[in-house]
Amino acid sequence: MMRLRTVASAALILTLAACGGATSDAGESTPSAGAKGTVNLAVNPWVGYESDAAVVTYLLEKKLGYTVEKKELKEEISWQGFETGEVDAILENWGHADLKKTYIEQKKVAVEAGSTGNTGIIGWYVPQWMVDQYPDITDYKNLNKYASLFKTSESKGKGQLLGGDPSYVTNDVALINNLKLDYTVVFSGSEAAIIKAAQQAGAQKKPLLFYFYEPQWLFAQEKFVRIKLPPYTAGCDADPKKVACDYPDYDLDKIVSKKFADANSTAYQLIKNFKWTNDDQNLVSDYLTNQGMSADQAAEKWVNEHEATWKPWIPAGS
Amino acid sequence: MVAVAGETAPRRVTRRRVLWVLLVVAAVGAYLGFRTAGAADSDDAAAFRFFTGVRNWVDDNRDTSPLFLYGVNYLRLGVRLLVDAVQAGLYGLGFAGLVAAAGAVALVLAGWRTALVAVGGFLAFGFLGLWAESVDTLVLTVSAVLLAVLTGVPIGVLAARVNWVSATLRPVLDVMQIMPTFAYLAPMTLLFLIGEPAAVIATLIYAVPATIRITELGLREVSPTSVEAATALGSTGRQLLTKVRLPMARPTIVLAVNQTIMMALSMVVITALIDAPGLGQNIIRALERVNVGVAFDAGLAIVIMAVVLDRITTGAARRRPATRGRSRWVVAGGALVAVVVVALLPIGQDLPRLSFAGPVNDLTGWIELHWYDATEWIKNVVSAGLLDPLESVLTSTPWWLFVLLVAAFGTLVSGVRSAAVAALAAAGIAGLGLWQHAMQTLATVLVTIVLTMAVGIVLGVWSARHDWFAAGLRPVLDAAQTMPSFVYLLPAVALFGASRFTAIMAGFVYAFPPVVRLVDRGLRDVPATVVEAAVSAGSTPRQLLWKVQLPMARGGLLLAANQGIVLVLAMVVLGGLVGAGALGYDVVAGFSQREDFGQGLAAGFAIVLLGILLDRLTQGFHHAKGPR
Amino acid sequence: MTSTITVEHLWKVFGPKPERVVGTELASLPRAELRERTGCLAAVRDVSFAVEAGEVFVVMGLSGSGKSTLVRCLTRLIEPTSGEISIDGEAVRAMNARRLRDLRRHRVAMVFQHFGLLPHRSVLDNVGYGLEIQGIGRAERHRRAGEMLTLVGLDGHENQYPEQLSGGMQQRVGLARALAIDPALLLFDEPFSALDPLIRRDMQTEVRRLHAEVGKTLVFITHDLAEALTLGDRIAVLRDGELVQVGTPEDLVGAPADDYVADFVRDVPRSDVLTLRWIMRDPLAGETCEDQPLPATTVIRDAVPRILRAKLPVQVVEGDRVVGVVDADRLLPALISHHRQVPA
């Protein structure tokens, strides 16, 4: 539900009209943490992130007495929010070196707040049944042998690699070229489309080679196996056109706005301390996705059962 | 004289035919001679860098440039004020009060039947457990529509009165209407911030062209005799406007409001991506979890809202003047009192929950499991038999040859002027550096349009001939048109894979309802006397249809094709989300990745140019020959 | 309250740069050639006439003859290209917007072929429209609108809407609307041509009655000769924008200015229009006549029984003066002939 702000914004317009131009971060933002105890959390659109947000929100509200405002945003817009003052924290950031450069180094409106403890794995996957049937398929060197299995109406006679969640920079096209694979990338365009295709591939026993990542709640439902690409070594992905190695593991981290960090509130400290495992996150994600719980219910259940994990996050003296 | 005319007419037709044949032969020859392998588009064209530069400039100057300090930012604050006021109003009424208010408004504007629909519809939000979300969506819709009416009606009036304003506005409105919201949504949040104001403004940009265009049409259609009569009595310009033109255009302006509402509602889901509250967020969240059933509940609430608002506004437009008068004020007063009383009653919204999520999930699950082989086969046949050949011809045609052919065929079909615009649009696409992607998208769009027209005409003919069929079809069309496509995209992906064909199906579902409606209306509008004459001459029903009704409904059919094109183009971006790639994917990627912004916006413009190209090419049929 | 109009050398040219046509050699070109050479259409060409106070002045012509343009030029609903128009001695073309609006509000009203009613207003509010825009209060304008409706025979229809009325009734509303502002001059642009013949006749009677009752100056546009002859004190015949002839009905039928007019009036039963003046002959020396003479203004048809019953010729008098005689021999050709006649 939206909050009622009529009077406030009317007054604001009057004040601003009196003193001239209105800057883009004026007045709009709900006050940053500390002053009135509101924390603005960006919530990026995948369930793993929602699990982080659910637990952090629960702890902030129930244990530290803050009000949390969740903002459902795509990644890039969340980063913009640091600048306009509308976002205090991003809880699960996947790399995004370009955004870090813009907002942390150049604009200096955001700072890193440490790892979430989760490891992000990106790679190419096939459904379990394919591995059962073609055991050597998990080595990229054998992919050309099976290319015809992966032919679709979209792949122009080659094998199809379903990829392209547009939120990530991927190396798939370069990888296929440089590893001389008889495949073509079909851009699915959304995470949901990839998940649906993966589900169908499992249910219908249809071949599918797809770009995917962990932690991901889908792994709680179905088994998928990662293809072994030439191992990652530091710097092997330096030139995006010449990449011929696997994706690195991502240390998923937290980013907060500079203002929020500088205020050094207990909320900031809790977010900074927040750290858990992929299993923890997958558990909460499973509550959310497959057991139909609300964010609060899922967080409460996890918090009740994992006190040892979250206790150290709570700042001393609160 | 008669003999001479009788001779030249066929000769002209023959010459035209010869010209066509020559042109087709030349086109095929040129294509075979010049076709290319079609180099892939670069991802670093000059246009992309330019758009990225614009974005960076805005980003750097939004807190220093007076344009933003005094313009955009006040605009945002003003919109915020409006949203908050609407919100305070709607929430202030409470559940029972708002249900009663909806009924009262419907009663006053459109009669008691519609009032029942309105009350039922608003109660349904409660039963679906989506009360607060529905109200939030309603707040955004009402705010955007209010703004659209406040700005669009005066602009429409001006455009109707001043020809150069109309001519200047036309391309601007084209861009606003066809440019995918995704292409500019991200930088908009920089200017208007995350949340309601940006959402309302994005919605406004998409919806206000309908307000302006239909208002202008309404004013231009005001009987010149009435205007002349009022002038002859000494009316001033203002009196003419307020006492003659606006009142006489009222039904059309109400229709403009109706269309604006429908457009605004279709934006609701997308604005959820920038944290606009409401039903869109439920749908997006359900999508993350690949839970069609939950998305369906929220989608159903949107459909219900659309139907209620549509019935109220069309009812208001149709209302005969004779039923107005004093009694209306009595009804209005009574309704107001009733609303206040109900709003003060302590009625909660503790309703039994009614959710379709479970059954819908079971049903889609079953369909996904059992229809897959058949749907896969259909997809493969259409892709290999129709889509691939068309796409390979289009992508292997050099851009300059394409531009020439557009100019040549365009001149034959629509005249020099339209052909020139169309050819310029084609050249512009090449200039944007997205030629291959644009041609791939064009192939998908053309197949979608053919499919949409074929099915639309068949259903439209049936619906015009059988009232029972029309009545049964109406709710299906309503639902297809207003159900957010995100809801049915996932089952489509399950059945057809991440593919162009999925995009075609999504575009088809979105575009066929207006086609059916326009065909139906076109056929029903054929004068009864003509049909009578044909029947009395001994026509069979088939002859009647092919020789009389369809030719006479040509205007309606062409309008249908034109609308179909616009709507199909609107779905290109959604195609990008389900594997159709090309321009749609470029736009989606531009939204998601800061560094791809330039390419995304360029792709947006390419879609606009495709729209202009197709519009100008088909438009010729409207003006060149025959009655509309 | 009556009004006079004079029109001098009025031109209306449609098309690009119309002012270059008037007063040059282009002006004398035939219509088709002018259009060919300049793309301009001369709808009204050098028209001059005068309408006297209280007169019913009919402008007649086929469609495309420029008559509707001409009548619209009178109050500048269409801006003339050149020429002078004056109403009650005041130059219309010199008026500024405010003065022109005053003219339209108070002195000249118009009735249109397609009625031009406002569908969103009740009959009463349609009639009161002209008063409303003058700023007259609601009670007063409803009162006067009501009177007008009584005058045109639409009592009891006040609260209906135009679409609920028949065509004839709608035109009565249009008429009442024009009368409501009490203008000295009424312009009718083919007001009855969209109506059924019977209703048209009723309406013509109505106009004649109103003219007799309220005595306004009327300018009446029509393409229907019968209507022109019925209503007009004088008739102006317009062809391709040019005035061919202006005269009384009698003048037109009896002495058409050219073949065009002659063709127009060919089927008019002459005996219905012409007076004895047109068929009388000089008395023969020492001729004996009937005792009772007939006035020269008697329409032939009305004199038929007298003349046929008479054994002797009948004298035709103007006042006391004998101007000629008629007998059966002179009568018969007028009854059967369509040939052109010249006054004796």
Q: Which CATH superfamily is domain B371-624 in?
A: MetI-like (1.10.3720.10)
In a domain, C29, yes or no: no
Q: Which amino acid is at C64?
A: G
pLDDT-wise least confident of A218-232, B366-380, B530-544: B530-544
A58 and A139 belong to one structural domain: no
Domain B66-360 has CATH 1.10.3720.10: yes
Residues of B in contact with C158 (CB under 8 A): none
Q: A21 touching B, CB under 8 A?
A: yes
How many domains does one find in chain C? Answer: 2
Q: What is the mean pLDDT of residues B167-171?
A: 88
Give the pLDDT confidence of A111-167 residue by residue, as tens digits: 999 899 988 888 899 999 999 999 988 888 888 888 888 888 888 888 889 886 777
What confidence category does residue B626 fall into, taking pLDDT thresholds of 50, 70 and 90?
Answer: very low
Q: Which amino acid is at B456?
A: G
- How many Å apart are CA B103 and CA A66, to the nearest integer? 40
Residue ranges for chain A with pLDDT beneath 50: 1-20, 26-36
Residues of B in contact with A152 (CB under 8 A): 497, 499
A193 and A258 belong to one structural domain: no
- How many Å apart are CA C118 and CA C125, to the nearest integer? 9
The pLDDT assigned to C220 comes to 92
CB contact under 8 A, B234 and C104: yes
Cis peptide before A215, with omega less than 30 degrees from 0? yes
Q: A222 touching B, CB under 8 A?
A: no
Residues of B in contact with C159 (CB under 8 A): 325
Contact B198/B279 with Cβ under 8 angstroms? no
C219 and C135 belong to one structural domain: yes
Q: If you measure CA to CA, which chain B residue comes closest to A290?
A: B289
The pLDDT assigned to C295 comes to 85
Q: B383 touching A, CB under 8 A?
A: yes
The pLDDT assigned to B7 comes to 46
Residue A196 sits in which domain range?
Answer: 120-249
Are there at least 3 beta-carbon pairs closer than 8 Å between A and B? yes
Residues of A in contact with B441 (CB under 8 A): none
Decide: residue B539, CB within 10 A, 0-12 exposed, 13-18 middle, 19+ buried.
middle
Q: B371 touching A, CB under 8 A?
A: no
A113 and A126 belong to one structural domain: no
- Token pair, residue C51, equals 């309408």
What confidence category does residue B12 fall into, taking pLDDT thresholds of 50, 70 and 90?
Answer: low
Residues of C in contact with B227 (CB under 8 A): 116
Q: Choose the final residue of a domain: C265, C297, C312.
A: C265
Terminal-residue alpha carbon distance, chain C: 39
Q: B499 touching A, CB under 8 A?
A: yes
What confidence category does residue B578 fall into, taking pLDDT thresholds of 50, 70 and 90?
Answer: confident
Closest-CA distance, B229 to chain C, in angstroms, reads 6
Residue C226 sits in which domain range?
Answer: 53-75+94-265
- A 54-93 → B contacts, CB under 8 A: 71-77, 79-81, 83-84, 86-87
Q: Point out the residue among B232, B236, B321 whose CB comes nearest to the CB of C119.
A: B321
CB contact under 8 A, A20 and B69: yes
Closest-CA distance, C306 to chain B, in angstroms, reads 50
C202 and C280 belong to one structural domain: no
In a domain, C253, yes or no: yes
Residues of A in contact with B275 (CB under 8 A): 71-73
CATH code, domain with A88: 3.40.190.10
The pLDDT assigned to A164 comes to 67
- How many Å apart are CA B533 and CA B527, to the nearest integer? 10
Q: B228 touching C, CB under 8 A?
A: yes
Strand partners for C219: C57, C187
Q: Choose the final residue of a domain: C265, C295, C313.
A: C265
CB contact under 8 A, B225 and C130: no
Q: Closest Cα partner for B270 from B373, B349, B180, B382? A: B180
List the single best residue of B233, B248, B323, B326 to mutate versus C (max C Cβ within 10 A): B233
Residues of A in contact with B492 (CB under 8 A): none
CB contact under 8 A, C116 and B230: yes
Q: If you measure CA to CA, which chain B residue comes closest to A191?
A: B288
A172 and A259 belong to one structural domain: no
C115 and C134 belong to one structural domain: yes
Closest-CA distance, B510 to chain A, in angstroms, reads 19
Whether B8 shows a pLDDT value over 80: the answer reads: no
Whether B193 shows a pLDDT value over 70: the answer reads: yes
Sequence-separated (6 or more) residues with CB below 8 Å from residue A112: A100, A104, A253, A254, A255
pLDDT-wise least confident of B480-489, B500-509, C49-58: B480-489
The pLDDT assigned to C278 comes to 81
The pLDDT assigned to B579 comes to 81
- Token pair, residue B157, equals 């009036």
C225 and C139 belong to one structural domain: yes
C182 and C318 belong to one structural domain: no
Q: If you measure CA to CA, which chain B residue comes closest to C76?
A: B232
Q: Choose the final residue of a domain: A201, A231, A249.
A: A249
Complex prediction ipTM: 0.81
Residue B132 CA neighbour count, 13 Å, CB half: 8
CB contact under 8 A, B274 and A4: no
Whether B465 shows a pLDDT value over 70: the answer reads: yes
3-class secondary-structure state, position C224: coil
Closest-CA distance, A299 to chain B, in angstroms, reads 17
Q: B242 touching C, CB under 8 A?
A: no
Closest-CA distance, B196 to chain A, in angstroms, reads 9
The pLDDT assigned to C41 comes to 86
Residues of A in contact with B139 (CB under 8 A): 2
- Token pair, residue C271, equals 């005996």
Contact B100/B336 with Cβ under 8 angstroms? no
Q: A153 touching B, CB under 8 A?
A: yes
Are there at least 3 beta-carbon pairs closer than 8 Å between A and C? no
List the single best residue of A69, A158, A190, A290 to mutate versus B (max B Cβ within 10 A): A190
Q: If you measure CA to CA, which chain C residue comes closest to B222?
A: C118
CB contact under 8 A, A289 and B489: no
Give the pLDDT confidence of B44-78 residue by residue, as tens digits: 777 788 888 887 787 777 777 777 777 777 888 88
Closest-CA distance, C341 to chain B, in angstroms, reads 36
- Token pair, residue A160, equals 């199809």
At residue B418, φ and ψ (nearest 5 deg) are -65, -40
Q: B250 touching C, CB under 8 A?
A: yes
Contact B252/B264 with Cβ under 8 angstroms? no
Closest-CA distance, C98 to chain B, in angstroms, reads 9
Q: If you measure CA to CA, which chain B residue comes closest to C77?
A: B232
Residue B253 CA neighbour count, 13 Å, CB half: 20
Q: B90 touching A, CB under 8 A?
A: no
C103 and C245 belong to one structural domain: yes
In a domain, A14, yes or no: no
- Give the DSSP letter of residue A28: -
In a domain, C6, yes or no: no
In a domain, C4, yes or no: no
Q: Choose the final residue of a domain: C249, C265, C281.
A: C265
What confidence category does residue B181 fall into, taking pLDDT thresholds of 50, 70 and 90?
Answer: confident
* pLDDT tens for each residue of chain C, 344 residues long: 467 899 999 999 888 888 887 877 777 788 888 888 888 888 898 999 999 988 999 999 888 888 999 999 999 999 999 999 999 889 999 999 899 989 999 999 999 888 888 888 899 999 999 898 888 899 999 999 999 998 888 888 988 998 889 888 898 899 899 989 888 899 999 888 878 888 888 888 888 888 888 778 999 999 888 888 888 899 999 988 889 899 988 888 888 888 888 888 887 777 778 888 888 888 887 778 877 888 888 888 888 888 888 888 888 888 888 888 888 888 777 777 555 444 44
Average pLDDT value over all residues in chain B: 83
- For chain C, give the number of residues: 344
Residues of B in contact with A12 (CB under 8 A): 77
Residues of B in contact with C75 (CB under 8 A): 232
Inter-residue long-range contacts of B301-304, CB under 8 Å, 24+ positions, other chains counted: B301/B124, B301/B125, B301/B128, B301/B130, B301/B133, B301/B134, B301/B137, B302/B137, B302/B265, B302/B268, B302/B269, B302/B482, B302/B483, B302/B484, B303/B478, B303/B479, B303/B482, B303/B483, B304/B121, B304/B124, B304/B125
CATH code, domain with C327: 3.90.1280
A204 and A279 belong to one structural domain: no
In a domain, A1, yes or no: no
Closest-CA distance, B267 to chain A, in angstroms, reads 16
CB contact under 8 A, B225 and C119: no
Residue with tokens 């009919």: C58
What confidence category does residue B620 fall into, taking pLDDT thresholds of 50, 70 and 90?
Answer: low
In a domain, A25, yes or no: no
C305 and C247 belong to one structural domain: no
How many domains does one find in chain A? Answer: 2
A243 and A166 belong to one structural domain: yes
CATH code, domain with C123: 3.40.50.300
A285 and A301 belong to one structural domain: yes
Q: Closest Cα partner for B557 from B621, B468, B473? A: B621
C70 and C163 belong to one structural domain: yes
Are there at least 3 beta-carbon pairs closer than 8 Å between C and B? yes
Q: Point out the residue among B87, B383, B494 whose CB comes nearest to the CB of A153.
A: B383
Closest-CA distance, B228 to chain C, in angstroms, reads 7
Q: What is the mean pLDDT of residues B176-201?
A: 83
What's the Cα-to-Cα distance from B120 to each of A196, B259, B275, B292, C312, rounded to whole Å? 35, 22, 29, 24, 96
CATH code, domain with A179: 3.40.190.100
Q: Choose the final residue of a domain: A224, A249, A274.
A: A249
Residues of A in contact with B61 (CB under 8 A): none
- Token pair, residue C111, equals 């009735």
What confidence category does residue B327 fall into, taking pLDDT thresholds of 50, 70 and 90?
Answer: low
C118 and C257 belong to one structural domain: yes
Q: A294 touching B, CB under 8 A?
A: no
CB contact under 8 A, B594 and A199: no
CB contact under 8 A, B594 and A98: yes
C231 and C309 belong to one structural domain: no
C61 and C206 belong to one structural domain: yes
